[in-house]
Structure formats: structure tokens, C-alpha cells
Amino acid sequence: MFRTRLLSGVALVILALLTIIPGGHILWALLLVISLIGYHELTRVFIPEKRSALKVAGFVFITLYYLLINSFVIEYLNSLDIAHRIFEKTYIHVTFQMLMFFLLALALLICLLAIMVFSYPKYRFEQIVITFFAFFYVAVMMSFVYLVRDLPGGVFYVWLVFICSWGCDTCAYSVGMTLGKHKLAPVLSPKKSVEGAIGGILGAALIGALYVLAVNHWAGAELSVLNFAIIGGVGGAISQIGDLSASAVKRFHNIKDYGNLIPGHGGILDRFDSVIFTAPIIYLLVVVLVQ
């Protein structure tokens, strides 16, 4: 079991290197596939039907959302000058992409409600809610890995997503096993401790600081060590919430793993539950503290 988990972990690292370093369309395509699989893993907990109109609608709108954030598509839409024609007739003071995202989310909600109405009573209202939620929770939040990588200097910043999530998890486990005495969430996750959580946050902050020191040395950058330590600590704290949230859903529905796609790790959501939460926070912190 340990060997399988280790080999799968190595394969994930190699895949990350091959896609994140070049970024662009390669990373975009990988995250689209990951989002579609993760969306399927989450929705099948609530919608066991294999051929569900709700799931199909989700797949379609996730694909449309990823097309919306694709840099090539954005450049094409901007070349049509649609944004100028819209904004000159309204009082909307948001970016064109934000407006399109809002309209896309609204269209998804209307589509899901229409499916519920015209197939009544096949789908329950809570299934509509979880389908809408899964679009944001899996696809939108996961897409911030691509959005961080697409920032100026993103090739350096994007690794903070994984440093905060997986680095924090490793540090929290080590400290918890050594010093853990007070239960963090005794009913939900009895093995996690307050000491481990604090150790994970401090460990992620330390790794973030060491990482930027390495970047400054090898890449000739002049990035703030303090800012990256803050990003690491905050990201580490958020990643633990993501991990516990995914565990809560599994406990409520009495399932061990979301899937078995990754040997030794489970499904996409089992491996990327903390990454999903961390990526949007890293994007925000990088924009505020670094850009």
C-alpha cells in the first residue's frame, strides 16, 4: 500500500512539472480534465444516476467556463470589442470576464431549474443545489491554479498552492504525531490535533520563506520573504479547512474515498481537496501582496 501510494505521488509530481512549468494550454487542458472528473466524483455522491441531465449540464458549463478563462479566447473576445459596446450603455464597472462569468453562472442556474421543472418529480431540489455548488467548488476554485500560473511571474507563484496544501499537510502530520494532545475536530477527524494544525501553519510559512529565498538566489528575484511567509501561513490554514470540509462530506454519506483513479490516494477530490481551497487564496494574496 505504501509503495503504491509513493509511486502515485511521484507520478503526480512528474505530471505537475510537465504541465505547470510550461503552463498555457497544457495546464489549462489538464485542469479542465481534473475539474470534470472531480465534479463527477462529487455529484455522484448525491446523484447516483449515471446518465443524469443535471450532470451533463454541469459538464457543459464547466467546459464553457474554462473556455472563458482561456487566454486565447479572452484575447479573441477582447478583439471583438464586445466589452466596450456593453459598458458604454450600462453603469457596470467590472471587467468583461467578470460580467461573462456572472452571466454564465446565471445561465447554469436557469438551466438546472429548467431541468428540474420539465423532468419533475425526477430530481429533488437539493440535487439542483449540489450540482450548482459543485460547479463552483470543483471547477471554479480549481481553475485558480491556472489563473495563478497565468499571472506575471506565475511560474514562481503557482508552486505556493502546493507548498501550502501538501507542505502544510506533511508538517501537520509530523507535529501532530509527535506533540499532538488536543483534538482539533474529535468527531470528524479524531487523529488531527490542534498542535498539528498549528505546526502545519508554521511549517507552511517556513517552507514559503525558504522557497522565496531559493527563488531570489537562483532566479535573481527580489521578492519579500515576509510576504511569502504570510502567504504560506494563511494558505496552510485555509488548506486544512479544505481537507476537513471534504472529509465532512464523506462522513455524512459514509464513503471512504471519492474515487479510485489515483492508486493509494483515492479520487481527484481525495488528493486535491486542500488544493481546491488554497488556489483562490494564493491568487488573492499574490495579487495583493506581491503584484
Tens digit of pLDDT for each residue in 108-126?
999 999 999 999 999 999 9
pLDDT band at 77 (very low <50, low <70, confident <90, very high): low
Residue scoring higher pLDDT (145 or 100): 145
Torsion region of 266: left, alpha or beta (phi above 0 gives left; psi -120 to 50 gives alpha): left
Q: What does the pLDDT read at residue 2?
A: 53
Is the pLDDT score of 286 beyond 70?
yes
Is the pLDDT score of 99 beyond 90?
no
Percent of the chain topping pLDDT 90 = 43
pTM of the model: 0.89
Give me the mean pLDDT over the 205-219 stretch: 91
Q: Which three cell numbers stand for residue 256?
A: 471512504
Contact call for residues 32 and 62 (beta carbons, < 8 A):
yes
Q: How do residues 164-188 score in pLDDT, each as one tens digit? A: 888 888 888 888 888 878 888 888 8
Q: How do residues 53-67 score in pLDDT, each as one tens digit? A: 999 999 999 999 999
Q: What does the pLDDT read at residue 97?
A: 75
Query: Alpha-carbon distance 270 to 243, whole Å?
Result: 8
Query: Alpha-carbon distance 159 to 145, whole Å?
Result: 9
Q: What does the pLDDT read at residue 35?
A: 96
Find the length of the chain: 291
Give me the mean pLDDT over the 214-238 stretch: 89
Q: Is the peptide bond before 152 cis (omega within 30 degrees of 0)?
A: no
Q: What does the pLDDT read at residue 56?
A: 94
Distance (Å) of CA 266 to CA 5, 143, 263: 10, 21, 6
Distance (Å) of CA 256 to CA 48, 251, 262: 16, 8, 14
Q: Which three cell numbers stand for residue 44?
A: 455522484
What is the chain's mean pLDDT, rounded? 86
Give me the mean pLDDT over the 25-49 stretch: 92
Q: What does the pLDDT read at residue 85?
A: 58
- Helices and strands (H, E) in the chain, number of each type: 15, 2
Q: What does the pLDDT read at residue 203?
A: 92
Give me the mean pLDDT over the 30-47 stretch: 93
Query: Alpha-carbon distance 159 to 221, whole Å?
Result: 16
Find all residues with CB under 8 Å of 42, minimum gap 6, and list them: 130, 134, 137, 138, 249, 258, 269
Q: Which three cell numbers stand for residue 178?
A: 509527535
Q: How do residues 240-285 score in pLDDT, each as one tens digit? A: 998 888 888 888 888 888 877 777 677 888 888 889 999 999 999 9
Q: What does the pLDDT read at residue 94?
A: 55
